[in-house]
Amino acid sequence: MAEVYKMAEQIDYQDGTIVSKVVAKDQGGTVTLFAFAPGQEVSTHTAPFQALVYLIEGEAEITLAERKLKISAGETLLMPAGLAHALRALTPFKMLLIMLKSD
């Protein structure tokens, strides 16, 4: 059954940590919500799938290869598969991560 969600209300911040919640998952990919406390980071890594990041609240710094980008609430970033990237919370922020598996 189809439902309407207010994504920002589906996850809460926790001091000093990163919180995640899987919204949907199937053979085509995953949709995951994240809430980052200020200063939290995800170290450089790669993913085998194309990813779309949508910032719901706050501001983050996303490093793609060696390029640093500031992304703010309401902005979207599309990342190709296999690209090294890292994230850092400039403020508390919430994001929706959509990972797309391709054939």
Distance (Å, whole) CA 6 – CA 102: 28
Q: What pLDDT band is residue 14 in, cutting at 50, 70 and 90?
A: very high
Nearest Cα residue to 57 out of 72, 69, 39: 72
| pTM for the structure as a whole | 0.91
Q: 7-100: what CATH class? A: mainly beta
pLDDT reading at 103 higher than 70: no
Query: Does residue 58 contact residue 39 with C-beta atoms inside 8 Å?
Result: no
Distance (Å, whole) CA 80 – CA 50: 5
Which residues sit opposite 50 in a β-bridge? 100
pLDDT reading at 3 higher than 80: yes
pLDDT tens for each residue of 45-60: 998 999 999 999 999 9
What are the structural domain ranges in the chain? 7-100
Give the pLDDT confidence score for residue 5 in this predicted structure: 84
The SS3 call for residue 79 is strand
